[in-house]
Amino acid sequence: MNRIITLLALTMAFALPAARSRAAELVMFERPGCVWCARFDAEIAPIYAKTEESRAAPLRRVDLNGPLPADLAGIDPGVFTPTFVVVKDGREIGRIRGYPGDAFFFGLLDRILSSTGSEPARL
């Protein structure tokens, strides 16, 4: 019985990192001084980590004044900031150009996440 439990624990330990690598991610391309980025920071950023959307696609911020991370080399950040790109398995699934305000942001994001199979679970 202990062998089975140990085998299951090892299987889960190896499977979890692989599952995490396939999770969607919300990448926010931003620049210092961006007024719309500041508005996102005031309206959405304080609550995002507590949302179902965050569990489906954690927020990752990328400053466009610096080099793009190697894993995002195939993603075009665009010219407008902020630009939100949902990335899964290294591919762009969808994007939101600019910040549409708190009334529309989650609706647009949910539409993108539903196409990834990472739809937020609603209670």
Q: Walk along the chain (123 residues) and give the pLDDT tens digit of each residue.
A: 555 544 444 455 544 444 444 589 999 999 999 999 999 999 999 999 999 999 999 999 999 999 999 999 999 999 999 999 999 998 999 999 999 999 999 999 999 999 866 555 443
- Check: CB of residue 31 under 8 Å from CB of residue 81: yes
pLDDT of residue 23: 82
Scored b (16 or more CB within 10 A) or e, 67-99 reads ebeeebeebebeeebbbbbbbbeeeebbbbeeb
Distance CA 67, CA 55 (A): 27
**Spatial CA neighbour of 113 closest among 88, 90, 89:** 88
27, burial (CB in 10 Å: exposed 0-12, middle 13-18, buried 19+): buried
Record the tokens describing residue 36, joined without a space: 């719309």
Distance CA 40, CA 42 (A): 5
pLDDT of residue 16: 43
This prediction has a pTM of: 0.77
* CA angle centred on 52, ends 56 and 92, rounded to 5°: 30
pLDDT of residue 115: 80
